[in-house]
């Protein structure tokens, strides 16, 4: 009797283990279908001279500060053409995304990663401005960055959200120029609109 009970118990544990493993596999597959799989996302592209911001229509390469681009699975639904949406600033990147979130979420959004570029802050004008970097290798997924928000350093739209993949770089920038630190998930529509 005990032997039979032990046998059923071992079989139940084994069955539970298999069911738990199957459930975990199913959840992982579902998460992949819902997006966020950067390994399968398109790579960033260089923003070409003459390209206008898809949010405000300013010529992207003519202005200082962080720039961005978003890739959509069905870009024609959002842009009426098959290409990434490109932006003159991180503010326009967020504003466009929030405006079109009912139509479609981007599969990936990239903005300038100031940890990966040699940037300069020009203090010769009315307000300090940070250099713009539009090359493909200057971008990182926005979800991987710590953002210094509303520092004294401006970008294309005035107030800026300057991203760093190295949080120590973000801390150092904030110590020099002020602002608040945000992670991507903490950026709200209200915050973006208050800065525009």
Cα separation, 158 vs 86, in Å, equals 18
User: Which pairing describes strands 68-71 and 139-141: parallel, antiparallel, or unpaired?
Assistant: unpaired
Assess contact for 88 and 160: CB atoms under 8 A.
Answer: no
Q: In angstroms, rounded to a whole number, what is the distance separating the alpha carbons of residues 147 and 142?
A: 9
Put simply, whether the predicted model's pTM sits higher than 0.85 gets the answer no
Q: Is 114 exposed, middle or buried (0-12, 13-18, 19+ CB in 10 A)?
A: buried
Sheet strands (E) in the chain:
68-71, 85-87, 108-112, 121-122, 129-130, 139-141, 146-149, 161-164, 180-183
The CA distance from 195 to 63, in Å, is 17
For the chain, residues with pLDDT lower than 70 are 1-39
Which residue is listed with tokens 């579902």? 30
Q: Could you tell me which of 155, 79, 144 has the C-alpha nearest to residue 109?
A: 144
Cα 128 off chain centre by: 24
Structure confidence at residue 87 (pLDDT): 98
Question: 183 has which bridge partners?
Answer: 146
Q: How far apart are CA 111 and CA 139, in angstroms?
A: 5
Instruction: Return the pLDDT at 196.
Output: 87
Per-residue model confidence (pLDDT) at position 30: 33
């Amino acid at each position: 009797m005990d032997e039979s009970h032990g046998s059923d118990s071992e079989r139940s544990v084994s069955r539970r283990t298999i069911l738990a493993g199957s459930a975990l596999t199913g959840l992982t597959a579902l998460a992949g279908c819902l997006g966020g799989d950067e390994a399968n996302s398109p790579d960033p592209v260089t923003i070409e001279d003459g390209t206008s911001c898809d949010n405000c229509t300013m010529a992207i390469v003519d202005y200082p500060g962080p720039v961005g681009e978003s890739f959509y699975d069905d870009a024609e639904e959002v842009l009426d053409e098959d290409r990434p949406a490109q932006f003159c600033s991180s503010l326009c990147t967020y504003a466009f995304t929030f405006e079109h979130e009912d139509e479609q979420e981007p599969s990936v959004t990239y903005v300038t990663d100031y940890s990966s570029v040699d940037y300069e802050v020009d203090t010769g004008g009315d307000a300090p401005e940070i250099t713009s970097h539009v090359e493909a290798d200057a971008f990182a997924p926005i979800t991987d960055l710590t953002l210094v928000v509303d520092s004294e350093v401006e970008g294309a739209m005035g107030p800026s959200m300057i991203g760093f993949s190295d949080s120590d770089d973000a801390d150092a920038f904030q110590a020099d120029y002020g602002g608040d630190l945000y992670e991507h998930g903490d950026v709200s529509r209200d915050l973006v609109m208050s800065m525009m």
